[in-house]
């Protein structure tokens, strides 16, 4: 049984930092791209960042470029998202997703291309 579990969310002041983690079990992720999505109340879920299976290629939404860093440790089946200089508009439920392909490709922000999802971890940034 495949499980994807996020952790590391919480309440932080604007300008602060958080590090999210996502651990997958029941599957091997070293040949699969992984990504972070987020969904704020009343808004659609949006792609935040994606990283290829090797960890050597990644992409970011324009809204988080320069502030967030995605990384992975395939020996631990774990994905990370380091979030710095957080803003109130970063407040959302953050989801981890696993894609069956090796690379993210240009369409990575489309949810339909991801096969496994976690339940999410809440990030709240106060002003």
Asked if residues 12 and 18 have their Cβ atoms less than 8 Å apart, the reply is yes
106 pLDDT band, cuts 50/70/90, is: confident
% the chain with pLDDT above 70? 100
pLDDT of res. 107: 85
pLDDT of res. 68: 98
> How far is 11 from 23, CA to CA, in rounded Å?
21
> How far is 10 from 57, CA to CA, in rounded Å?
28
| Long-range own/partner contacts, residues 62-65 (CB < 8 A, 24 or more apart) | 63/89, 64/90
Considering the chain, what is the average pLDDT of its residues?
96
Q: What is the pLDDT of residues 32-88, one digit of tens each?
A: 999 999 999 999 999 999 999 999 999 999 999 999 999 999 999 999 999 999 999
């Amino acid at each position: 049984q495949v499980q994807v579990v996020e952790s590391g969310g919480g309440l932080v002041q604007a300008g602060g930092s958080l590090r999210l983690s996502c651990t997958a079990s029941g599957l091997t992720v070293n040949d699969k791209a992984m990504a972070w999505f987020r969904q704020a109340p009343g808004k659609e879920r949006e792609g935040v960042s994606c990283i290829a299976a090797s960890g050597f290629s990644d992409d970011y939404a324009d809204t988080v470029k320069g502030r967030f860093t995605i990384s992975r440790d395939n020996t631990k089946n774990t994905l990370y998202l380091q979030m710095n200089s957080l803003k109130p508009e970063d407040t959302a439920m953050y989801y981890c997703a696993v894609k069956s392909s090796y690379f993210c490709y240009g369409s990575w922000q489309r949810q339909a291309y991801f096969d496994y999802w976690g339940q999410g971890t809440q990030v709240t940034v106060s002003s």
